[in-house]
């Protein structure tokens, strides 16, 4: 039978109408299945496991992304992915999304790629498809030139998948290495992270933890007990406190998930999108020519009396704000991000309040890592020097202070970003050379009138030069007259100027403006061979 389209004389088969109706019904069914799968993916492991996550004081994977990213900006990838494992009954145990939420969003209006491990799904364990999801966002981050942030909360490898799970870890590690120095990589450990899983955070630029709920260890307490007969808790073995204070594996720790995620947003505001872009400039009301007269008297008259270099730096940078890195580790040196004239700078400073600011193994490694990050991402370095030397003793020598100290020297020497150093008081011996000295291609080296640049302090020098001789007191006075001031170094051109402390902010900003278009290249090589 024929029917006619309205207003037309062309016949239309009634069967075609039925076909259209069937197709429409089929499309509706498919759409319904799609929505059902999407909702299943968003539920993760279900309400019971979500409640268990909340009972531990932890947010879910999706709740964390909601706080980390700008509202409404998240676009998820691979929400429908399911594992392909068939062993141990896994073919009957599939949860859509497979334990990790991945995608892209905005942080402060800037593109950021993210993955958030979901502990409510198989304990956040890593499968082959889980790894593929993570690798995809890391690949896209490098293609787009944007940071990648990983929120870690995982029990480790998915045992049922065997070597496929291990291969997945290796694929992620490879991308961590390829992305290093290309885009910023940040790991935030918000739950367990054990076994091979720990090496991905270790390969990223910064690793942060949440106190009392996050753990990092290669082998857990049970294995430690079986192998070494040590009784140790998860917190003692791999909690935030040992990793931020003793091992230096973590760059900082926060009280809870909310504070940690807010801090990641702040950190990212200091960083460029990639090694091809400058860090964003933030407009400030803090005038470049602001002079802080308190700096003129901050250095104690007695060179043996300590002062707080952190407070000195805060009086010089924009708005007194510093985002400190590794605050609890190697506290005899501090590093962090600040702004001057609205532009990001990396700040390194010896801390006289802790061990007189001496350089030791941990301080050298801490500062070297930070200097290399700043150089990789074109962030100028501003160094504040008050260092009496390297820490002596058999523990340091046998621990490799020669090798570890050389890392900091190497980092400064290879850096091609603008480098400005201000010596506030002591700069003795090899430590003076290491701390961004003129001979390590320091662009501008200032000193305050209180600076002392010498091979060593007066007392130690006199002990060597006047051993078994009379007149040591007079010799010490003479040594102080000759070397306990910045003039000898300035007269030899090792200092560019001796400045009033209150003018430090303006002088640094003026030089940074001049150096903004600095171009320096190192000799062509496959890669360097720094002392690891």
Residues belonging to the active site = 195-196, 430-431
Residue holding tokens 């808790």? 233
8 Å CB contact between 133 and 99 = no
Please give the Cα distance from 39 to 178 (Å, whole number): 35
Q: How far is CA 521 from CA 414, 416, 417, 430, 525, in A?
A: 10, 7, 10, 26, 11
Cα Dmax for the chain? 128
SS3 sequence, 266-295?
A: HHHCCCCCCCCCCCCCCCCCCCCCCCCHHH
In three state form, how does the secondary structure of 354-385 look?
Answer: CHHHCECHHHHHHHHHHHHHHHHCCCCEEEEE
- Please say whether the beta carbons of 379 and 417 come within 8 A: yes
Residue (of 249, 370, 384, 246) closest to 307 by Cα position: 384
Report d(CA 434, CA 196) in Å as an integer: 35
Instruction: List phi, psi (to 5°) of 410.
Output: -60, -45
| Residue in the structure block whose two tokens are 């700043």 | 374
């Amino acid at each position: 039978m024929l029917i006619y389209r309205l207003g037309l004389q062309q016949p239309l088969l009634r069967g075609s109408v039925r076909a259209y109706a069937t197709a429409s019904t089929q499309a509706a069914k498919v759409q319904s299945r799609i929505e059902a799968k999407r909702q299943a993916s968003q539920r993760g492991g279900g309400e019971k496991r979500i409640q268990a996550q909340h009972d531990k004081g932890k947010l879910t994977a999706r709740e964390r992304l909601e706080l980390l990213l700008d509202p409404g900006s998240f676009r998820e990838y691979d929400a429908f992915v399911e594992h392909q494992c068939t062993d141990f009954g896994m073919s009957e145990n599939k949860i859509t999304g497979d334990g990790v939420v991945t995608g892209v969003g905005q942080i402060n209006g800037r593109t950021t790629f993210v993955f958030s491990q979901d502990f409510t799904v198989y304990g956040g364990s890593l499968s082959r498809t889980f790894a593929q999801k993570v690798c995809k966002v890391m690949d896209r981050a490098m293609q787009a030139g944007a940071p990648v942030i990983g929120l870690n909360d995982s029990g480790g490898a998915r045992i049922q998948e065997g070597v496929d799970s291990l291969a997945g870890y290796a694929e992620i590690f490879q991308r961590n290495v390829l992305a290093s120095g290309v885009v910023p990589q940040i790991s935030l450990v918000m739950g367990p992270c054990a076994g091979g899983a720990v090496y991905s955070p270790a390969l990223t630029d910064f690793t942060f933890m949440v106190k009392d709920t996050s753990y990092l260890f290669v082998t857990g307490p049970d294995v430690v007990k079986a192998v070494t007969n040590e009784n140790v808790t998860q917190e003692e073995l791999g909690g935030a406190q040992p990793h931020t204070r003793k091992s230096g594996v973590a760059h900082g720790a926060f009280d809870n998930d909310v504070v940690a995620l807010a801090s990641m947003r702040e950190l990212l505001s200091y960083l460029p999108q990639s090694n091809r872009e400058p860090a964003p400039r933030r407009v400030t009301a803090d005038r470049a020519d602001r002079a802080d007269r308190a700096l003129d008297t901050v250095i104690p008259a007695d060179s043996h009396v300590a002062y707080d270099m952190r407070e000195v730096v805060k009086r010089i940078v924009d708005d007194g704000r510093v985002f400190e890195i590794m605050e609890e580790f190697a506290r005899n040196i501090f590093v962090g991000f600040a702004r001057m004239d609205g532009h990001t700078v990396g700040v390194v400073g010896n801390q006289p309040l802790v061990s007189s600011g001496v350089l030791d193994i941990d301080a050298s490694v801490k500062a070297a890592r930070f200097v290399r990050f700043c150089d990789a991402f074109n962030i100028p370095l501003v160094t504040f020097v008050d260092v009496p030397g390297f820490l002596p003793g058999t523990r340091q020598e046998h621990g490799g202070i020669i090798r570890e100290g050389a890392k900091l020297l190497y980092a400064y020497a290879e850096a091609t970003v603008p480098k400005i150093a201000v010596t506030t008081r002591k700069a003795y011996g090899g430590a003076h050379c290491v701390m961004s000295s003129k001979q390590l291609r320091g662009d501008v080296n200032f000193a305050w009138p209180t600076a002392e640049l010498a091979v060593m302090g007066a007392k130690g020098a006199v002990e060597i030069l006047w051993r078994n001789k009379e007149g040591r007191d007079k010799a010490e006075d003479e040594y102080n007259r000759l070397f306990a001031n910045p003039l000898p170094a300035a007269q030899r051109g090792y200092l560019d100027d001796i400045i009033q402390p209150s003018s430090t902010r303006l002088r640094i900003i003026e030089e940074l403006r001049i150096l903004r278009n600095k171009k320096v290249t190192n000799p062509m090589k496959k890669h360097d061979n720094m002392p690891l």
